[in-house]
Amino acid sequence: MRFNTLVAFGLFACALVAAVMVACSDSTPACKAGTLALQIELTGTANFADTINVQSFEPGASINEDFSHVPDGPRLFTIDVAFPGGYPANKTVTFLVRARGASTLLGENIATIHLGETCGAGLVGIRAETLDGGPSID
């Protein structure tokens, strides 16, 4: 009886420590000064992409950059997006992120991310589907 009680308390203590570690961990990617640390999650056939394209048409934050991806590689990864015209501090920017395999569009999604004073971090999930249209910019 005493052994069962000790085992139960030991399991409870381990579960409590694990829960505290998960709650205290930083789940957003660390960003480098002047960049956006964009965490991308690919699901379905989007994970077969060999290229990730990131676009923004916002004034002062326009970008159209391709990043390599290993087909059927990591499903969750982070890319550092630099801004050729300078980092748009304290702005909210909409990004169109596409997963391509050769010339085939495998999936796309839009992410609107507020960029901080010196850098930004965000997450976008891309499934094996496409959007009806791109973001409209006034």
pLDDT of residue 105: 94
CB 41 within 8 A of CB 132: no
Q: What angle do CA 81, 70, 123 make, to 5 degrees?
A: 40
pLDDT attached to residue 129: 75
CATH numbers and ranges of domains, the chain? 28-126 (2.60.40)
**pLDDT, average across residues 107-116:** 94
Dump pLDDT digits (tens) for 57-107.
888 899 999 999 999 999 999 999 999 999 999 999 999 999 999 989 999
| pLDDT score for 130 | 74
| pLDDT in the model for residue 5 | 59
User: pLDDT by residue (tens digit) across 5-40?
Assistant: 554 444 444 444 333 333 333 455 688 899 999 999
Distance CA 52, CA 79 (A): 9
Chain centroid to Cα 85, Å, comes to 22
